[in-house]
Amino acid sequence: MKLLRKAAALLASAAMVLSAFSATLSASALTPEQAAELGESLNDGTFTYELVGGSYTIVKCDATASVSKIPELRNGYAITAIAEGAFIGCNNIASITIPETVTSIGAQAFAGCTSLSKVHLPSRLTEIPEACFMTCIALEDVELSDNITMIGENAFYGCTALKEFKIPDKLELIGDLAFGDCASISSFDTEGSEHYLFRDGILYSRDLATVYRASTELSGDLYISDKVTKIANGAFSMCAKLDNVFLPGSVHQLTDDVFGYCTNLKSVHFSEGLTEIGYLAFQFCLNLDSVDFPTTLRTIDDGAFYNCTKLGKIILPDQIDKIGVGAFLNCTSLNNVLIPQGVSVIGEHAFGFTDTTDGKFEKADGFELSGFNGSEGAAYARRSGISFRNVNGSLNKVLFITLSLALVAAAGVFAAVLMSRGRKSASSDVRAADRLAAEEEEEQNYQKIID
């Protein structure tokens, strides 16, 4: 048996050597056409191709290439696809025309092409995949046909020079953050679209129920219609000219990064019905100084108010359950927070901390947490090493909570009234007066609670 095994092993080794030798001889004698027939890769000095199903796929572009047009044919074979990540790192391409033979493009195909300012997509293409042009910071002009039915997640994320975009007539799906952090986006052409509508600086679904992306030129006060039930991730990110936002009770969840980098935003008026504030929802809202949380709120996600450096007063509703990691990290004006007894989860560095450029965390000077012995608030203070003030065991505690809830509820009702009065039918003077009254009411309520 041992001899048989040894003989079999020797035969297998010999076969492998012969096979490798034969392949080496064949490869050295192949023409490009023969290499293509055998499925070998082909490199023409600019692109590397692979034969897939009788046509070529571009799998790699030379990083130093400065081409402006992709060929339709190579060695008699049509070029029909561009593979995932094929042009990553090609920073010398200023414009590119993709031929009509191409029917598919892979995810991240042109991601990070920092010089790419113009792209022409073929009419046979039906999908722009995930992160296809992500962080193409010079991209201004996208020529595409009405046959596109899907724009994938992060497809144009971080395309900071993109100002206008034509929504294809047949487009049915816009992926998450497809236009996230597009700092210059000002308008969408939806003239022929069956599913989307651009109105008053906002890209909606045709039924006005979903907000997908807002123009970064929006300014002043924003009153979101009560027809809206969903606001997509990043929908108002980088709207740096917004002053005050009024949200309807029909929106139950604020999604990730929804108002991120709205650097001039001063106040947000929530309505009863909101249950969750998402990940980094208000990150870097540098002028946000106060928020009125509704009594229906249950979750504040990780980093929701990260780096809101002017945020100096918050009142957490009694029914809130979870406060995420770093939810109020770097809120350097926030000196005291009362944690309701029902909170079950408080993430690390949620309150009372700042972070540094090297990724370290430091306790904020003068911060104090108030709460109840035996609660999650007390446990958070203990494990974080921050000052804690117990409010247990007195009639004052009951009065405090009762008054807080009453005033928060009153603020919610007042905001609802303002929402109904603050429609576009009202004059700008009326809306300004309403906003001023809301701010005064909010300040009075807050002072009553603090006193």
Find the CATH number of the domain harbouring 165: 3.80.10.10
The reported pLDDT for the residue numbered 428 is 52
Domain-terminating residue out of 167, 188, 209: 188
Amino acid identity at 432: A
Domain-terminating residue out of 135, 165, 188: 188
| Proportion of the chain above pLDDT 90, given as a percent | 75
Q: Do residues 334 and 357 lie in contact, with contact meaning Cβ atoms separated by under 8 Å?
A: no
Q: Does the residue 128 lie in any domain?
A: yes
Is 199 a residue whose pLDDT tops 50? yes
* Total of domains in the chain: 2
- The backbone region for 235, taken as left when phi is positive above 0, alpha when psi lies in -120 to 50, beta otherwise, is alpha
Q: Does the residue 137 lie in any domain?
A: yes
Is 59 a residue whose pLDDT tops 80? yes
**Torsion of Cα atoms, 265 then 270 then 275 then 276, to 10°:** 0
Which has the minimum average pLDDT: 37-46, 180-189, 255-264?
Answer: 37-46
Q: Does the residue 426 lie in any domain?
A: yes
d(CA 353, CA 141): 43
Q: Does the residue 12 lie in any domain?
A: no
Q: Does the residue 114 lie in any domain?
A: yes
Which has the minimum average pLDDT: 40-54, 128-142, 191-205, 398-412?
Answer: 398-412
- Confidence label for 392 from pLDDT (cuts 50, 70 and 90): confident
Q: Do residues 90 and 63 lie in contact, with contact meaning Cβ atoms separated by under 8 Å?
A: yes
Q: What pLDDT digit, counting tens, does each position of 73-85 carry? A: 999 999 999 999 9
| Proportion of the chain above pLDDT 70, given as a percent | 78
- Confidence label for 357 from pLDDT (cuts 50, 70 and 90): confident
Per the structure, the complete domain to which residue 424 belongs is given by 396-450
Is 253 a residue whose pLDDT tops 70? yes
Is 451 a residue whose pLDDT tops 60? no
SS3 241: strand
The reported pLDDT for the residue numbered 322 is 98
The reported pLDDT for the residue numbered 3 is 34
Q: Does the residue 89 lie in any domain?
A: yes
The reported pLDDT for the residue numbered 324 is 98
Is 33 a residue whose pLDDT tops 60? no
d(CA 225, CA 310): 28
The reported pLDDT for the residue numbered 16 is 36
pTM above 0.85, yes or no: no
Q: Does the residue 365 lie in any domain?
A: no
The reported pLDDT for the residue numbered 397 is 47
Query: Region 43-51: what's the mean pLDDT?
Result: 94
d(CA 163, CA 185): 4
Determine the Cα angle at 413 with ends 409 and 415, to 5°: 110
What average pLDDT does the structure give for the chain? Answer: 85
Beta-carbon neighbour count of residue 187 at 10 Å? Answer: 14
Residue 299 main-chain phi, psi, to 5 deg: -135, 130
Query: Region 386-398: what's the mean pLDDT?
Result: 71
Contacts of 183 (CB under 8 A, 6+ apart): 160, 216, 238
Q: Does the residue 308 lie in any domain?
A: no
Q: Which residue's entry shows tokens 């926030």?
A: 334
d(CA 282, CA 273): 19
SS3 47: strand
Contacts of 201 (CB under 8 A, 6+ apart): 214, 215, 217, 218
In the chain, how many H helices and how many E strands? 5, 33
Is 32 a residue whose pLDDT tops 90? no
Q: Rounded to 5, what percent of the chain is helix, strand, coil?
A: 20, 25, 55
Amino acid identity at 316: L
The reported pLDDT for the residue numbered 273 is 97
The reported pLDDT for the residue numbered 1 is 36
The helix-helix angle for 428-450 and 395-421 (nearest 10°) equals: 180
The reported pLDDT for the residue numbered 201 is 97
Is 359 a residue whose pLDDT tops 70? yes
- Confidence label for 284 from pLDDT (cuts 50, 70 and 90): very high
Amino acid identity at 114: T
Q: Given the DSSP bridges, would you call strands 276-277 and 299-300 parallel, antiparallel or unpaired?
A: parallel
Domain-terminating residue out of 188, 212, 235: 188
Is 155 a residue whose pLDDT tops 90? yes
